[in-house]
A and B are shown apart, each in its own frame.
Chain A
């Protein structure tokens, strides 16, 4: 069965800490995504990557960075965590899309991050 695994289900950090959220997929997917989910706002794209070492900013990249050194792993980094980054973070992956394919996104189970 296909799988996207996020390393932590719940995480509590202090303001100013450097935070790493890890995501691993076992499907050999080219594309990987980090979304942030907040009540009333839905899911918003932070960053995505379409290949190793390649990344593009999403809609809300401020305060975040990412790393993709290996195809299966996509890390989200909060350089200096702040209370407004308290949120649910969802990782997803997909095959490289073309006009002829209609592969869907596969999601992890999310990391609920609390920054105190």
Chain B
């Protein structure tokens, strides 16, 4: 069975600075997706970034980038130039591939507070 672990329940960062959220996972699969989802106070889950395990290049989306270390089973999220709107709970998630069901396994979540 797969597990996803986020060991930082809460973090804070000053506006405009950079912050890194950690995620580790355990799986015997070789082919899978990893995701970071954001849940702001509105509770609407938003996909931040996606990484395919067979791709060595780290995914980036504007100010968001990941450090994917497949051998170490580590998948951290870096937020550059933090903005107040980045305040949210962030979830790391795993999905086996191929998947007919799209089932996601989530970590415990990290609450990020961006301070002005």
List the interface of chain A (C-beta within 8 A of B).
31, 33, 35, 40-45, 48, 50, 56, 58, 88, 90, 92, 94-99, 102-105, 107, 109-110
Contacts and interface: CB of A to CB of B under 8 A. Distances in A.
Contacts of A43: 91, 104, 106
A104 B97 CA distance: 13
B98 A45 contact: no
B44 A109 contact: yes
B91 A97 contact: no
Interface residues of B, number: 26
A99 B31 CA distance: 10
B101 A50 contact: yes
Nearest to B5: A42
B108 A40 contact: yes
A90 B6 CA distance: 20
A83 B72 CA distance: 40
5 contacts: A43-B91, A95-B102, A99-B97, A102-B50, A104-B35
